[in-house]
Amino acid sequence: MSESVTSAVETLMARDATAGVSSALVVSVSGDVVAERYGVIPGNALRAERVVDASTPLLSWSVAKSVVHAIVGVLVADGLVELDASMGLSGGGRSGITWLDLLEMRSGLSFIEEYEIGQPSDCIEMLFSGDDASGVPDMGEFAASRDVVDRPGRLWNYSSGSTNILCRAIGDLLAGPAPTTSPDVRSAAMTNFVTDRVMSPLGIDDWSARFDASGTLIGSSFMFMSAPSWVKFGELYRRKGVTGDGQPLLPDTWRDHARTTIAHDLDGDGPNGFGYGRHWWTWPHRPGLFAAHGFEGQFVVVWPEREITLAHFGVTPRSQAPSLIAALDRVLDAVG
């Protein structure tokens, strides 16, 4: 590791705790790991501090959404999904909602994506309501039942609910409809599909996920992998949907499908905010780069033109996000 890379990495990992904690950083260039550092997962009222290493499973939060994009890509490659096809939702203006509308977060359905406890939030209710805080029993159905506020394909509204509608439909496709199929059958079918068709071909053997009571994958939020495995997932997109041994998993167009900006989040934390593709984010200040984003500073960054894949996990307050992005930019500059 060069002196400049070492300096950029160590500066990131040594941030003052008030600025955020970096639990894991792995950087790959042209498929070779050039930097790898681990720290801790901070403790809080519900958990003790945990030391992180290369085998520690890391909770994804919304980074999982980008894995759902890959799952849909496999189904498209198999000819089982057409992006312009209706999702088959009923009621009001829901019948016109397509797979692509949900991937672009332009379903026309209301959904309050709020993470602060005490504020109105469809997201918190969906994921954490109930006596055991396991969320609503059928998260896809919950999200699909939100009010119709616009026609599909027009209004961009970032929504964890949209991802879980997709996951419910995938479960229906692989195993059978949620109301009439055993949750165990549905969750097993999804687990086997993701393992056999996405993870195993990438050499990932430590992934896991949570499912709701209907057997639907909670693809908006709850996947677990080690930091090296998150890099292996990102590498699939760097290599344009092809595995390291040359096996095509995704359509040839799927990488650009992910990183084609269809909306702009001007309140984002980058120098110019962030763009949104299809379940991936784009960084306007670095053309060609796209990234999976998760709560409190989780990133899987893919920059094909520089042959860089980077995974960063930790806990960074939203107020400190711009300084984290700046630190990650310094790492990217040093390795690229």
The pLDDT tens digits of the residues spanning 289-330 come to: 999 999 999 999 999 999 999 999 999 999 999 999 999 999
Give the CA angle between residues 158, 164, 168 to the nearest 5°.
Answer: 150
Which of 201, 232, 264 corresponds to the end of one domain? 201
Which of 172, 201, 230 corresponds to the end of one domain? 201
pLDDT of residue 265: 85
68 and 196 in a single domain? The answer is: yes
Per the domain annotation, does 207 fall within a domain? no
Which of 201, 233, 256 corresponds to the end of one domain? 201
Give the 3-state secondary structure of residue 319: helix
Average pLDDT in the 33-56 region? 93
Per the domain annotation, does 208 fall within a domain? no
147 and 258 in a single domain? The answer is: no
CA distances from 9 to 152, 304, 322, 324 (A): 43, 21, 17, 12
Per the domain annotation, does 212 fall within a domain? no
Per the domain annotation, does 10 fall within a domain? yes
Per the domain annotation, does 209 fall within a domain? no
Contact 253, 73 (CB under 8 A): no
CA 75 to CA 223: how far, in whole Å? 19
Give the total number of structural domains in the chain: 2
190 and 259 in a single domain? The answer is: no
Residue 59: domain span:
3-63+217-335
What number of CA atoms fall less than 13 Å from residue 254's CA on the CB side?
A: 27
* Confidence bin at 271 (pLDDT 50/70/90): low
75 and 191 in a single domain? The answer is: yes
Cα dihedral angle (186, 189, 190, 196), rounded to 10 degrees?
170
Contact 81, 135 (CB under 8 A): no
CATH number of the domain where residue 157 is located: 3.40.710.10
188 and 234 in a single domain? The answer is: no
71-129 per-position pLDDT tens digit: 999 999 999 999 999 999 998 899 999 999 999 999 999 999 999 989 999 999 999 99
